[in-house]
Structures are given as C-alpha cells and as structure tokens.
Chain A
C-alpha cells in the first residue's frame, strides 16, 4: 500500500520554493485549479505529477507522506524586518524557513540540551506605553544578560547564549533583512546572509530582538504594524546605544567624529544620528547639518566601515549536529531524514558546509580473510 500524501505538505513545499500556485502549476504541468485541489486534499496527484512535485520542490518523498515528530501549534505571523514592498511568495518562502528551523531545533533538542531560554518576562502595553518604557526594557535586558552598557559588537552569540535560535541564510530578497517569531516556547530569528553591511545586520538582529522581547504573543496586522516596527526600532537603538553611556560620547557633530564612534559602537552613522535625535542630544539644526554632511560625501546609502569588522555566524544548530555525529548518535544523513527535509536545506539552516549531511562515496574497506 502506498503512503498517503498529506495535502498541506504540498502547499508547504510550494511556498518553500517561493512559487505562486500559478507558477507551481506551470512547473509541474497541471492547471492552477489542480494545484488547489491537491493542497486542499480534494484530489491526490497522480504518480507522475507527484514525481514532478518532488523534482520541483527538491524535498524527499517522506516530506509529503510522513507525519512529523514535532508538530508545531499554529504559529503567530512572524515580524519582518523588511520593506512593505516585499512580495508575498518571498514572505511565505522565508516564513517556511523559519518554521523549518523549529523542526530542526526540536529534532536536535531530543538529544542535545540547547542553551535554555533566558529572557526576562516583560509586560508592555504596546498600545499605550511609549518610548520611555522601551528605553527601560532595553536597559533591563542588558542588566538581565549581564551585558554592561558598552558597545555590543557581536550579537548572534549573545542571542544564542540566551536561548534564541538564530539562523543566517541567503534569502535572495533584497527587500527583506530579518524575521523572528516565538515558536514552541523558544524565540527564533532568521536574518539575511546576503545583506552587505555588517552594521545593518547588527541593527537588524537588535530590531528582531526587540520584537521577541516586546511583542511576544501579539498578532501582527496592518493596523498595528507601524507601531510595532517603530517600537522595535526604538528598542534596537536603546539596546545597542544605551542612553546612559552612548549619550556621553556625543562630543562633536562632524561625520568624521561619528565615524570614529562607529568604529567603537559598530552601529551605522545613520542609526547614531537617529538615536541622537530621539534622545534629544542634538537639536534639529545639528541633525540637519549631519545629514547634509552625509549627502555631501555620498554616504547616505552605503557608509564607510560597514564591513570593517566581522560578525560571528550562529553556531548552536551546527554544534548540536556536530555533537551527534562526533558521538555517533546519528549518521549525517539521518539528521535531515529525521526532519523529513532535503539535506541541503538542513545544512543551510544549520550553517553547515554544503554536502556535510549528504551521502558520500566512501572507499570500500579492504576485506581481510579470516
């Protein structure tokens, strides 16, 4: 008896490759209506169509037929660090990656204790409370993490150390920087490896941390989106540039001085200017003067020192995989099989070298006659 195809998996696989139902229908050689019927379970694809679905989505047959060990409850809509013009298929595709990170982490967590979630319980009435409260929360988190009030120059290890699962992947979407969501009691964050500026990456991570801390349990919708984004931005500024220390260092209003601060705080000059504005460190004329200097030098979009320092890659998922393989708890191929995903996808989600979880041709051992 052949295994039954799970209709929702066809949708999941389609979304994971960023295709609309129309594009998918073209790719597998059926009508758009047929795709709809497969995804709702009204009809099951024929064998040849199923083969094409496997070929197009590059997922193993088990992905479409086997139940998952770790079934997630319905996740809330993730918060996106992206431009509003980001296309829906891209949102769905990257959203699926975030969901898959959950399956991978849960599967690994059966064998490995991952860093426990260590975030303070924050009460924020996001509709009523304002910036002052967000400043307090950012300070509170620094104290909770014992991170002091100096520059935080590398955020991914700090996030992972405190239980956030962080994924760095090329997202092939220039309108999207990062995305985050609580999944199964643990915060998850995915950020674009193809973002060129490390200063911006640092800010993106802090922005998503803001969502995770401030907006846990809040469903994002078109009415609250702008407010949530502003609050996450304010949090990122407050977390990366605490007012008690950063404000004291604004001793000049030239771009060269701000660039020297960038070397120390690792945050973009533009973000520092915004921070000075929101803290009232500089007045409107001084802010205008700084923007003018930025424009005159042509560094408004791409700043010097954006990549003058390195950021660490996430290591938790890759370390867990390594522990299982080194201790012979799992074969490399089993890691991806356990989550019913293509090995290439799991390697990418775990920041592992390509091919490390795939079958390799091993030299046949010389047999010795006994």
Chain B
C-alpha cells in the first residue's frame, strides 16, 4: 500500500476551509503588533522598527493560539519552549502534520537558519523502507514537519502566507500551499457572479394578439 504524498498530507492537515481564518489570524496578529508599536512611546523611534518583527510575531502567535482555542481554527496548538535557548514557539498540530510559524523574506525562500529549525525539519525524509510497489516495513511515518511562512510589509499588509514542508537537508520544499493564491483562485471558481439575465427574454406578445396583428397586416396588404 502506497502512503500519501507529502502534498496530500499537507493538504489534508490544512484544508481549504481553514485558509481564510489562518490569513485573518496572521493579519490580526500583525495589526495587534503594530498597534503596540504605535501606542508605546519607547517604540516611537528606530528601535521600534528594530523590534517590529518580534512584536508582530508575538501578535501572530497570540492570535493563532486564540483562534485555535475558540475553535475558529481546527488545529491543536501550544506555546512551548524551544529545545535550545530560552525562546518559545507555537507548536501547531493538525492531521499528521506538525508545524511552526516562521517569517521568510520571500514565498520560496527558507527562513534564517537556526539549530532549532534544523532539528525540527530533520524528520522530513522520504520513507527509506518504501518502494514503488509497497512498503516493506510498516512503521508509522513521523509527523510531517511544516512551516507557516509569512511576511508583512512595513504598512502591515501581508505579502505572502504559505504552509510549506521543508526537506530535511537541502533547501527545497517537499510540499506547499500558497494560502493567498488558493483563496483568490477558489473565490473565482466557487463564487462566480450569476449570469446576467434579461427579463425581456421571457416576455412576448400573446398568441391571440400576434394573430390579430397578422390579420390586420394581411387586410392592409389586400387593400
């Protein structure tokens, strides 16, 4: 029996129904972070700009966690200490995926390398015991490690948001979902405007009126 592909696994864990709320959580987290910077005098300098990314990150983690708790996002999540250092991250679990939120400069770029990230993605390897025909050893595959990558412009606009599964070693992606692109695509597929209708197309002179007109025309011609 062949297992699901990486892409199928990521799409099952993070289905389309969750995209709008995921984007909303990111946007609201960014806005919450920006509000802190704007409303705090000590950040009204270049130092505030230095801190912007971190404060926005705090806002995003908070909003994702809140929305998961409220049931707006169907993921399990917990704020936990990172395995190295004193920082925390938000562990997100859904289906057979496990993920974290990271900022990237570009949709296809990897986040800045850290030992934490290197360790986490180490499990994302193809199953060594699987052949084209069948799996030789039936071991439960480890959860697919994913990143919710995002970036926002200085004015707070979200420029990209993707669920992506990094490969264990090389800087390449095993699977990815571009949330913003899919929302736009689905919007045009599912929510098409109804075709224009013309009420006149359902109107006509009554048959007896048409006969009367024809008869009158004939009479006029005979004269």
By beta carbon, the residue of chain B nearest A164 is: B199
Measured CA separation A73–B205 after assembly (Å): 26
Q: Are A150 and B191 in contact (CB under 8 A)?
A: yes
CB A146 to nearest CB in B, in angstroms, measures 7
**A residues 149-192 touching B (CB-CB < 8 Å):** 149-154, 157-158, 160-161
- Which of B183, B201, B205 has the most C-beta atoms of chain A within 10 angstroms of its own C-beta? B205
Residues of A within 8 A of B41 (CB): none
CB B154 to nearest CB in A, in angstroms, measures 16
Q: Please tell me if B23 contacts chain A, counting CB pairs below 8 Å.
A: yes
Residues of A within 8 A of B206 (CB): 110-113
Q: Please tell me if B112 contacts chain A, counting CB pairs below 8 Å.
A: no
Residues of A within 8 A of B199 (CB): 115, 157, 160-161, 315-316, 319
Measured CA separation A316–B27 after assembly (Å): 46
By beta carbon, the residue of chain A nearest B210 is: A327
Q: Are B204 and A112 in contact (CB under 8 A)?
A: yes
Q: Please tell me if A355 contacts chain B, counting CB pairs below 8 Å.
A: no
Please, how many residues of chain B have a CB less than 8 angstroms from a CB on the other chain? 32
Q: Please tell me if B132 contacts chain A, counting CB pairs below 8 Å.
A: no
CB B38 to nearest CB in A, in angstroms, measures 14
By beta carbon, the residue of chain B nearest A327 is: B213
**B residues 182-214 touching A (CB-CB < 8 Å):** 183, 186-187, 190-194, 196-206, 209, 212-213
Q: Are A253 and B194 in contact (CB under 8 A)?
A: no
Q: Are B202 and A161 in contact (CB under 8 A)?
A: yes
Q: Are A157 and B198 in contact (CB under 8 A)?
A: yes
Q: Are A251 and B205 in contact (CB under 8 A)?
A: no
Q: Please tell me if B82 contacts chain A, counting CB pairs below 8 Å.
A: no
Measured CA separation A157–B195 after assembly (Å): 11
Q: Are B204 and A252 in contact (CB under 8 A)?
A: no
Question: Beyond A157-B196, A252-B27, is A151–B191 a contact (Cβ under 8 Å)?
Answer: yes
Contact of A329 among B21, B24, B31, B205 (CB under 8 A): B205
Q: Are B20 and A247 in contact (CB under 8 A)?
A: yes
By beta carbon, the residue of chain B nearest A322 is: B200
By beta carbon, the residue of chain B nearest A286 is: B28
CB B209 to nearest CB in A, in angstroms, measures 5
Q: Are A148 and B23 in contact (CB under 8 A)?
A: no
Known A157-B199, A249-B183, A252-B24; 12 more pairs at CB < 8 Å = A111-B209, A115-B202, A116-B202, A160-B199, A247-B20, A248-B186, A250-B20, A319-B199, A319-B200, A320-B203, A323-B203, A329-B209
Q: Give B residues with C-beta under 8 Å from A.
A: 17, 19-21, 23-24, 27-28, 31, 70, 183, 186-187, 190-194, 196-206, 209, 212-213
- 16 of the cross-chain contacts (CB-CB < 8 Å) are A110-B206, A111-B206, A150-B192, A151-B191, A158-B197, A161-B201, A245-B190, A248-B187, A250-B24, A252-B28, A257-B27, A286-B28, A316-B203, A327-B205, A327-B213, A329-B212
Q: Give A residues with C-beta under 8 Å from B.
A: 110-116, 145-154, 157-158, 160-161, 245, 247-254, 257, 283, 286, 315-316, 319-320, 323, 327-329
> What 4 pairs between A and B have smallest CB-CB spacing?
A150-B191, A115-B202, A160-B199, A251-B23
